[in-house]
Structure 1
Amino acid sequence: MRTTPEATDTRHPPPFRRLWRSVSGGVVSAPLWPRLQLALKAALAAGLAFFIAPFMPGSAADYPYYAPLGALVAMYENVSGSLRQGVQTLVGLALGIGLAFMLFSLGEPTPVTVAIVMGLGVILAGLPRIGSGSDWIPTAALLVLLVGGHNPDEFSFGYLVQMGTGVTVGILVNLLVFPPLHFKAAALSIAELRLALARQLWDMSKALNENWPPEHEDWSRRSDALAASARSVRLAVEKADASRRANPRRRLHPRDMELDYRNLRDLERVTFHVQDVTQVLSDVIWAEDTPFVVPDEYFAQLAEAMSAVGDVLHSIEEESTERQLELVETADAAVKDLTRRIGAEEAATDAPSAVESILLSLHRVLRIVKTTGA
């Protein structure tokens, strides 16, 4: 269709490169440090639990290895998760031990009675709100049967006490030793998605200035990747929200999670509209059964409008508020100018134009930014 020379991509200013390097570097290193921190705290909790285990009363002192197991069970990526997981595990253990004693009350274990108790254990594991404790119900029952032997009372007491000790140690270590706050990961994820959306608009703008069909078509395959990025951002924000619950450090590092959730919802809407533009433009270029076209006379102005909206998304991470307002006005004017031009001119082709659909999506992106600051 078009034979214009490929345009030089000048839409990535130096500040973008600086922020991109900082965000990408943070994202690469982000998963490593929380895992290392969790491993160090798990090691500390297990060691402390094993040190304390011999001082437990009565027969419990004979089963010290269950204390570090309890510490590991309770070790979670946030404090509230440790509390929940620890309590659920102890509830599951108590139910499993109860099932084992029910089996002993029926006499010596037989294949039939073991099958009945295990079946009941699986049924109890489906109780609501028991969470991670569900796996421990049949496990605890089997341990009492297999390891408890002829002294199920002593084993059950020691098993439950030592696991409870370990769980308590694990929760306290997670609470007192730098309880994690995942605010930085959430902020980086939000920034990364904004930059990805800006880059997508810039790349589509560049495609409009290339020879058609464009040689560079990787942007046309990013729709699913953008959706996956939006889901990752939601998970990161929810993880940050969970990390502040029951966390004493939240007072020293306050964060407006409501703002993060608003930004998340707005970015999800922006992602939807950018995906729509991506689908429309890629269909116009490559889909043989698509009747819509982008008339040649609108290519340059549409590319300018796309690029301007990308600049707006990029500016939220890089620029001052005044500069952001300037870019919003520029992008809004570009979208409105092309809209007015289309309304005033007669179409040069009989095929329906896809430009109006693209402009509508760009207008909605700008409206989200103007009303919410996404």
Structure 2
Amino acid sequence: MQLAAKAGLAAGLAFLIAPLMPGAAAQYPYYAPLGALVAMYENVAGSMRQGLQTLVGLAAGIGLAFLLISFGATPLTVGVVMALGVLLAGLPRLGAGRDWIPTAALLVLLVGGHNPDDFSFGYLLQMGVGVAVGIVVNMVVFPPLHFNAAALSLAELRLALARQLSDMGEAMHEKWPPEHQEWSRRSEELAGSARAVRAAVEKADASREANPRRRFHPRDVNLDYRNVRDLERVTFHIQDMTEVLTDVIWSKDMPFTIPLPYSEPLAEALTAVSEVLRSAEEDDAGRQAELLSAARAAVDALEVRITSEDVDADAPGAAESIMLSLHRILRVARTDGR
């Protein structure tokens, strides 16, 4: 809604200013609101980049048209202009400007008629005016900062990962195969959530570029990137544990099992590590340290149980894999920059 309102405001202002342009440019005021729309983007830096790329594409298309304009508008020249325009659109770094090369060339060739110089001048100038108005409006009128969305997505992923661990811990208490199987189907969902979190942080990072509001709303985006990388690692380990436990429970050809003596310490370790992830959203550093210490103790107890002599040393491959993943998650939690 905000972007739509700003686009409307920018288009109206551009059309108001357009008749004031010098010379023949005043005859083409309708291109100014088009330029304003082209430059309207979800963040200020994107508006600048998209507007500049559009003007570069327009200039390239106009230059291309002038190479063939002496031959007139014939089916052959139109075809050649379109073919060359599409080829030029393949150049790297043109971004949004690539689509305007053949468009501008065709307009100059067909609409410019007998006065292509005035049309080209008016077209490019009015689009430039519109782009400038669009950038200014986007910069001045509530330029968006997407910091809250990034913080929320990080918190949601942490809680989702914590829930996955706790659900697996509960499965260890149930009679196998467990009645609750939702956790076993969340692996791809967790991976998708991790990708969405990275996208949200990148969007927040882009929204602060050239944004005058950033000085009033400081945020350590580098810390957000570090947290994303940590959560991606945690997601990988939890996905691995999910697949291992799912195979052990439901796959008939799985060569490994989790012996009954491991069930209770494994459940306690999974639950304790889930509490560490969940506590990361709390402000109580003392509570976080307490839960981290308890999780380490639970994982260490699992390790002691696995290496004890009263169980078959050839059987616990699956439990060892899960224990190793828990150790790695705690290592990430210990170095978490929050």
Q: TM-score, structure 2 length as denominator?
A: 0.97
Matched, 1:46 2:11: yes
Match of 1:243 in 2: 207
Which amino acid counterpart does residue 239 of structure 1 have in structure 2?
Answer: K
Runs of 4+ with >3 A deviation: 348-353
| Alignment partner of 1:73 is 2:60 | no
Secondary structure at the counterpart of residue 77 of structure 2: helix
User: Paired residue for 2:80?
Assistant: 116
- Alignment match, 1:85: 50
Which residue of structure 1 lines up, in the alignment, with residue 322 of structure 2? 358
Flag structure 2 segments of 5+ consecutive residues without an equivalent. none
Q: Within 2, Cα distance between the matches of 1:373 and 1:44?
A: 42
Unaligned runs of 5+ in 1: 1-35
Letter in 1 for 2:144: P
User: Is the partner of 1:211 in helix, strand or coil?
Assistant: coil
1:163-205 C-alpha deviation (Å, 9 max, x unpaired): 1110000000011111111111110111011000001001111
Given the superposition, is the C-alpha separation of residues 319 and 255 from structure 1 closer, same or farther in structure 2, using an over 3 Å criterion? Answer: closer
Q: Name the residue aligned to 1:163.
A: 127
Residue 63 (str. 1) matches residue 19 (str. 2): no
Q: Deviations over 1:226-276 (max 9, x none)?
A: 111111111111111111111111111111111111111111111111111
1:28 is aligned to: none
Aligned with residue 279 of structure 2, among 306, 315, 318 = 315
Q: 2:297 aligns with which of 333, 337, 346?
A: 333
Distance 2:73 2:192 in 1: 51
* SS of residue paired to 2:335: helix
Alignment of 1:93-108 (within 5 A): 93-105=58-70, 107-108=71-72
The alpha carbon displacement at 1:346 in A equals 3.3
Q: CA deviation at 1:161?
A: 1.1
- Give the number of equivalent residue pairs: 338
Aligned runs of 1:1-374 on 2, under 5 Å? 36-105=1-70, 107-348=71-312, 351-373=315-337
Equivalents in 2 of 1:261, 1:353: separation in Å? 34
The 1:328/1:67 distance shift into structure 2, 3 A limit, reads: same
For 1:185 and 1:240, the matched residues in 2 are separated by 8
1:25 alignment partner in structure 2: none
Alignment-mate amino acid for residue 208 of structure 2: R
Structure 1 SS opposite 2:8: helix
Alpha-carbon RMSD across the aligned residues, in angstroms, is: 1.4
Mean alpha-carbon deviation: is it higher for 358-367 or for 120-129? 120-129
- Offset at 1:121? 0.9
Deviations 1:209-232 (A, max 9, x none): 112111111111111111111111
Alpha-carbon contact 1:198-1:313 (below 8 Å) kept:
yes
Give how far 1:117 is off.
1.8
Shift of 1:147: 1.9
Write the distance in 1 (CA, Å) between the matches of 2:306 and 2:161: 26
Deviations 1:112-149 (A, max 9, x none): 22222212111211222111100000011111122222
Secondary structure in 2 aligned to 1:354?
Answer: helix
Q: Secondary structure at the match of 2:327?
A: helix
In 2, Cα distance between equivalents of 1:85 and 1:253: 25
Q: Contact 1:295 / 1:353 at 8 angstroms: preserved in 2? A: no
